[in-house]
Amino acid sequence: MTSEFFVGVDEIRYEGPNSDNPLAFRWYDKNRLVDGKSMADHLRLAACYWHSFCWDGFDIFGDGTMERPWHPNQATSDSPQDGMGQARLKMAAAFEFFVKLGIPFWCFHDRDIAPEGSSFAETTRRVDEMVDLAGQYQEQSGTKLLWGTANLFSNARFQAGAATNPDPEVFAAAAGQVAHCLEATHRLGGENYVLWGGREGYETLLNTDMGRELDQMGRFLHMVVEHKYKIGFEGLILLEPKPFEPTKHQYDFDVASVHAFLQKYGLQEEVAVNIEVNHATLSGHDFAHEIATAFNAGIFGSIDANAGDPRLGWDVDRFPVSVEEMTLGMVEVLRGGGFTSGGLNFDAKLRRQSIARDDLFHAHIGGMDTMARSLLAASSILNSGDLDDSRDSRYLGWTTEFGQSILNGEATLESLRTRSMGAQEPARVSGRQEALENTVARHIERIR
The catalytic residue positions are 109, 112
> Which residue has the closest beta carbon to ligand XLS?
196
What is the nearest approach in angstroms of ligand XLS to the Cβ of residue 149?
Answer: 5
From the list 383, 307, 300, 374, the residue with the least C-alpha distance to 336 is 300
Question: What is the 8-class DSSP label of residue 312?
Answer: B
Amino acid type, 193:
Y
Return the one option of ligand XLS, Ni ion, none that residue 149 interacts with (CB less than 5 to 8 A, by type): ligand XLS
For 432, residues 6+ apart whose C-beta sits below 8 A from its C-beta are: 390
The residue among 94 and 377 lying less far from Ni ion, judged by its C-beta, is 94
247 is a site residue for ligand XLS (CB under 6 A): no
CA 139, 114, 358: angle at the middle one, nearest 5? 70
Interface pick for Ni ion out of 110, 270, 304, 332 (rule CB under 5 A): 304
Distances (CA, A) of 260 to 218, 243, 252, 267, 271: 12, 15, 10, 10, 12
Q: Please, which residues have CB within 8 angstroms of residue 236's CB and are 6 or more apart in sequence? A: 191, 192, 193, 271, 272, 301, 302, 340, 341, 342
Q: Which does 100 bind (CB under 5 to 8 A by kind): Ni ion, ligand XLS, none?
A: none
Of these, 56, 191, 200, 276, which contacts ligand XLS (CB under 6 A)? 276
Alpha carbons 252 and 277: distance in angstroms, whole number: 15
Interface mask toward ligand XLS for 368-407; x: CB under 6 A: ----------------------------------------
Residues 48-77 that bind Ni ion (CB under 5 A): none
Among 254, 315, 325, 332, binds ligand XLS (CB under 6 A): 315
When the beta carbons of 120 and 314 are compared against Ni ion, the nearer one is 314
Minimal distance, residue 128 CB to ligand XLS, in Å: 21
CA 14 to each of CA 140, 361, 377: distance values in angstroms, whole numbers, following the listed order = 22, 14, 18
Of 355, 364, 359, the closest CA to residue 74 belongs to 355
Q: Can you give the binding site for ligand XLS, defined by CB under 6 A?
A: 109, 149, 196, 240, 242, 276, 304, 315, 347
Q: Can you give the binding site for Ni ion, defined by CB under 5 A?
A: 276, 304, 315, 347
